[in-house]
Amino acid sequence: MFGLKGDWSLDVHERYFTIGDYAGGEARWCPGCGDHGVLTTVHRVCRDAQIPPEQTVAVSGIGCSSRLPHYMSTYGFHGLHGRALPIAQGIKSRRPELDVWVATGDGDCFSIGGCHWLHAIRYNMDMTVLVFDNAIYGLTKKQTSPTSPMGLKTNTHPTGSILPAMNPLTVTLGITNVSFVAQVVDWNPPMLYETIKAAHQHRGTSFVRIIQRCPVFVDGVFGEFQDDPSRLLLLHHENGIPVDENIARMFKTQREHDPSNMSAARDIAEDESLMPVGLLYHNPDAPVYNDMSSLGRDMSDEQKVAGINKALDAFAI
Amino acid sequence: MTTQATAEKSAASASVPKQIQEYIIEVVSDSGEGAQKCGQTFGSVSGKMGNGVWTVEIIPAEIQPPARSPAGASGIRIRLGSKYVTNMGDEADIVVAFNEQVLYSRIVNGAYKAGTVLLLENKWATDPQPEIQKQYADAVAEFREHGLIVHELAIEEECLKIVKNPRKGKNMFVLGMLCRMFSRDVQLALDEISATFARKGPKVIKPNHDLFNAGYEYAAENIEYYYEIKPESEVGAKPTVVTNGNTAIGLGVMASGMDLVSMYPITPATSASHYLADVYHLVGGFVHQAEDEIAACAFAIGSSYAGKTACTITSGPGMALKSELLGLAVMGEIPLVVVDVQRGGPSTGLPTKIEQGDLLSTMYGMPGDAPKVIMAPATISECFHYVITARKLAEAFRTPVFILTDANLATGVQPYDRPEVSEEWLAAPIDQSAWDKNVPPYDWDENTGLSPRPIPGQPGGEYVLTGLAHTTRSKVAYDSETNQLSCQHRSRKMAALAGTLKKPDVYGDPEGDILVVGWGSTMGAIEEAVDRLRDEGHKVSSLHLRFLSPMEPGLKEIFGKFKKVMTVEVNYSDDPNGPLITEENRRYAQLAILLRAHTLLDVDCWSVVYGAPLQPGIIHDAVLGRLEKLN
């Protein structure tokens, strides 16, 4: 055991990983899709963290954004529609040393995977969850998603969607054991980078809603926020997402917000006149499920055989 | 016969027990009165004395159905023998009932015959409510009309001499009665009671011992039935354990080296996970209770993908929910062990009752071609050992492996040889060595379809598993050739496994008039029926299949030596004589459908969905019916 461990730490120090070590095949999203920027940001954050590619697993569901693992050269799991989170949890459950990323979308996470979303927040397993929210189903060609604004004309609602859009931030902030909730927009690369980096560093389920443009099906669905930057609300705080002057200069509307303040976070999330950007809530001390699920991994075969025999003894006659 | 008459008669009863070979006993009560605990303890004591035992629980679907409800029978059947006992047998010889109403559902189920002795709590005869008095009197008259030999006993009255609330404790009094009636070892019984209440301490143990002793004395003085069933095998000759099938599954999971079970509560599977939740820490394992059946399966798949083959335990409705993920496991070639403790279907069906209804849905219930391994243990011991085999097959063949048990195995309790646990059963540590980059993640062997699997953590093995059609490099591919080839390789694995299986053994002569083919929990009852038919001079044999996908080899050859082959199953099939039923539209039982396709022979079937385990007698009669048509 000593030899293996010694070799391993030596290895870590000697290897240096570049962005190329995390980047995979050529991304096949449409030109102008917000996903491209998120992908390169993930590559950069991986490079910064220097976790070996073989220890990194990118998990996804089904949808445009769920193609992300194919554009990584780490391990990956392109699963089923809605099921990225429980698959990622299973990966983490007995292998807590693996660095797990989840790429999911508004349909994948908030609709078909809704039940898993609620419970993933509650399990709080250590993983970085990026929700690419473009307010539309893209891969299946323009159907209404839970976050489509009311009145949006889609192929399932040609005269305009009939329900008000769901607010994923208020939902997430309402779940017991929530530990990290941030929101960011894809058209602000420096803020995107800082947010994903902070999410990756958090120990627990980091939930990042990325407002992401789909120029093909709903070009301009976030137009009001792009055209009028004062509608974006930058959240800053010494415990929030690090914001330097260059970033701060881009936001006309700002507010100091302590991310440990849940009630303020909920107020911010509820006010839909402004789109908050930054860290809404952070609790670094929430219990992490994989601390429990990974117990007992170090047991020897000898101990296990003794354990099974002890269990059998209870039924011996 | 009144209580007094019973007492008079038994006063004259023999002081020496009558020697018998076997006996079927039932204890039935309202839910919560402890009939099951009474029977389990009785069965355990008998097992320890070296007797053959099969116990099966009678479970209502509700936790606390209304008292004295005809449909709410809660109880237990114990079949006790000198020899090894493999099934619940036919009608009960004796039944102890805490009220008369719960007997109705048992009578409907054919649990009793003319001559079955009924020992009935008599307090209802003098109940303050005249309505109940009348119900009781009517029932007793009706039971006698059915031919039951009714004895009315003052069980509650006797218990009240010892405890204030006889609802808690009557079961121990009855246990004492039964132990006297069947010459059980008193000390063993007292020790069992002490063990049951060990956590509650002497304050609880003492009154329960008192109740037991009172019941024993009462039976000695008042009950004429006094038997001895001497075990044939020597006590302690072989190390033995006694468990039900779900516990055996749990023990098998531990012994297989799987350290994660991911589940969602569902009857009748959940008790396997309850058991594991209690003891899994002994092997460093973890039970994950997921938010739903789908997540339970996804979680297990995630764990398996990351290197630790996991298990998910469920029942029919859970299988339906998991089916998309199970297809993913086939497509991504992810090792996984799935235990389906079958219950009655379709839909929510009969949650607590037995059916073998999930064979075809397990085999075909996924989109596209999804070949997988399906095994069916026939005994409780096999429930244990098959999990170990399943984990190994799942990894060697890089596929999900399904174990189909049922409610009969799940709750049936039987002694079996204690497994000699081996380190070889456990999973090897996860391989974290460097992976040769030249070897693709699906390096399908042309002849077997098999390929080694990279595990996260192995440098050089990085790949993206996908449920989309994919190349050997796991790259998404929509072209015709890749899809044809990858389907071919996944299917070829089944042929490779089939090539390693042994030809199954025929029970009885290898040729004759009828061969009865079964699978799963019905083996004991089928073989007992075959024994009876052979004793009567009929040329009947049986064959029990353990592998259903791929099929065991040599079936066509075996079948060819019989005039007729028929399956006996617990799932629905049309009665060939039913209205509108013709040879063209008759719907066959599930294994029969598979065997007809597999062998191109005219395999017949007989099956029912009574929600009850098959009894040897009913199988005997069904096969006899087919024999008569044959000759």
Domains defined for chain B, CATH in brackets: 3-228 (3.40.920.10), 244-422 (3.40.50.970), 431-500 (no CATH), 506-630 (3.40.50.920)
Residues from chain A that touch B242, judged by Cβ atoms under 8 A, are 315, 317
Pair B187, B216: CB distance under 8 Å:
no
pLDDT of residue B69: 87
Nearest-angstrom CA–CA distance, B91 and B88: 9
DSSP B483: H
Phi, psi of B368, deg, nearest 5: 70, -170
Tokens of B611: 């929600």
**pLDDT reported for residue B2:** 43
Local structure of B330: helix, strand or coil: helix
Confidence of residue A8 (pLDDT cuts 50, 70, 90): low
Residue B13: band (very low, low, confident or very high) from pLDDT cuts 50, 70, 90: low
Residues of chain B found within 8 Å of residue A94, distances taken between Cβ atoms: 259-260, 286, 303, 306-308
Query: Per-residue pLDDT for B7 more than 50?
Result: no
Number of H helices, E strands in chain A: 12, 11
Q: Does domain A2-313 have CATH number 3.40.50.970?
A: yes
Q: Could you tell me the residue ranges of all domains in chain A?
A: 2-313
Residue B71: how many CB atoms within 10 A of its CB? 14
Asked whether the predicted pLDDT for residue A10 surpasses 60, the reply is no
Cα B435–chain centre separation: 43
Nearest to B121 by CA among B215, B257, B36: B215
Mind listing the pLDDT tens digit for each residue in B60-71? 777 778 889 888
* Element spanning A204, H or E: none
Question: Hey, are the CB atoms on B467 and A80 less than 8 Å from each other?
Answer: yes
Q: Within its chain, how far is the Cα of B607 from the centroid?
A: 17
The two structure tokens encoding residue A269: 């999330």
DSSP assigned state of B311: E
Taking CA–CA distances from B421, the nearest residue in chain A reads A305
Q: Is A63 on the interface with B (CB under 8 A)?
A: no
Count CB atoms within 10 A of the CB of residue B417.
10
C-alpha A226/C-alpha A188 separation (Å) is 10
Is the pLDDT at B269 greater than 60? The verdict is: yes
Q: What is the pLDDT of residues A160-198, one digit of tens each?
A: 999 999 999 999 999 999 999 999 999 999 999 999 999
The model's pLDDT over A26-71, given as tens digits with 9 standing for 90+, comes to 999 999 999 999 999 999 999 999 999 999 999 999 999 999 999 9
Q: How many CA atoms lie within 13 A of B272 on its CB side?
A: 37
Beta-bridge partner residues of A129: A102, A207
The proportion of chain B whose per-residue pLDDT surpasses 90, expressed as a percent, equals 89
Neighbouring-strand partners of residue A96: none
Question: CA B242, CA B240: separation in Å to the nearest integer?
Answer: 7
Pick left, alpha or beta for residue B307 (phi over 0 → left; psi -120 to 50 → alpha; otherwise beta): left
* pLDDT tens-place string over residues B206-222: 999 999 999 999 999 99
Q: How high is the pLDDT of residue A173?
A: 98
Distance between CA atoms of residues B325 and B366, nearest Å: 9
Q: What whole-number distance in Å separates Cα of residue A85 and Cα of residue A80?
A: 10
Q: Are B344 and B354 in contact (CB under 8 A)?
A: yes
Whether A14 contacts chain B with CB within 8 A: no
What percent of chain A is modeled with pLDDT above 90? Answer: 94
**Which pair of tokens denotes residue B469?**
């059609």
Question: Is the Cβ of B272 closer than 8 Å to some Cβ of chain A?
Answer: no
Contact B452, B444 (CB under 8 A): no
Name the band, by pLDDT with cuts 50, 70 and 90, for residue A1.
very low
Residue type, A123: Y
Residue A100 tokens, joined: 């797990």
Q: Which pLDDT score is estimated for A9? A: 52
Q: What is the pLDDT of residues B31-55, one digit of tens each?
A: 889 999 999 999 989 988 989 999 9
CB-CB under 8 Å, B254 with A307: yes
**Do the Cβ atoms of B283 and A299 come within 8 Å?**
yes
Please report how many Cα atoms fall inside a 13 Å half-sphere around the Cα of residue B377, on the Cβ side: 31
Distance (Å, whole) CA A100 – CA A224: 34
pLDDT at A201 over 90: yes
**Token couple for B617:** 């007698």
The greatest distance separating any two alpha carbons of chain A, rounded to the nearest whole angstrom, comes to 79
